[in-house]
Amino acid sequence: MFSGSIPALVTPFRNGYFAESDFRALVEWQIEQGSSALVPCGTTGEAATMSAEEHFHVVKICVDQAKGRVPVIAGAGSNDTAVACANVHAAKEAGADAALMVPPYYNRPSQEGIFRHFEAVAQKTDLPIVLYNVPGRTVTDIHPSTMARIVTAFPTTFVGVKDATGTLGRVSEQRAGCGPDFCQLSGNDETALAFNAMGGVGCISVTANVAPKLCAEFQAALAAGDYATALTYQDKLYALHIAMFTDASPGPVKYAMTRVREGFPMELRLPMTEPSDAAKAAVDAALAHARLV
């Protein structure tokens, strides 16, 4: 259902408020540069600092600006099952084509609890859902057997996964358990080449905020089976992938945006802070290596 280069969009702020005009321009640029879908209000979009009203206003603006040219996958997860159900309803009301949902964080439910959480969400919506497995942030891991159970029980609801476990073998395990048509998207830019070689079809990307054309061309080469060309893009972008996490994200990527988009605001919301000088230097070097500045 989804494939290619899909940016996990940053959310621009000015004086503490959502900067709508900057965001609309970002969405337009992403589409022009070849991004195949958009993810507003994920982790990179600082959704954890937004009220529910603001969160889904941002989603609505993304949908309005995209105008159906590419799908919009709205961040909608929560550690509270009732809130997760409300979020997926709000995502649909905002016009999103799908929702991106993490398993419950902080609570640390069992695998049974994870299944029951997504079962409850599925019973409340017909909106397609992409699972987001990122144990490094949630301290909750959707095991491959649990993912297969979720997808088998609700095949028309749970259409894919953003896998940020960093364990490449998961692609084969999930392909075996969920079927070859289950949409597997890398959640880690630096391993997206290997991820696709094992059966993935794209990446929900941080780097694509900054280098949308290069990331789209990289994914197009992978889709065509041209791994030699894809490797040249990997070599060009790898340092940038790493630089995006030289300080707490999205600090480095917002700094990078100011280098490639004149006037783009770097403002972050607490508890996120401006990246260190060392992180900025790493971003600068990586942008130069990729010939983006």
**Residues assigned a catalytic role:** 132, 162
Torsion of CA 233, 238, 243, 248, to 10 degrees: 100
**Is 17 within 8 Å of 51 (Cβ atoms)?**
no
Place of tokens 């630089």: 243
Pairing of strands 158-163, 129-133: parallel
Euclidean distance between the first and final Cα of the chain, in Å? 34
- Alpha-carbon gap, residue 71 to 95, rounded angstroms: 10
187 vs 24, 191, 288, CA distance in Å?
24, 9, 24
Instruction: Name the token pair of 241.
Output: 């992938």
Number of residues written out for the chain: 293
- Alpha-carbon gap, residue 78 to 140, rounded angstroms: 12
Q: How far is CA 15 from the centre of its chain?
A: 25
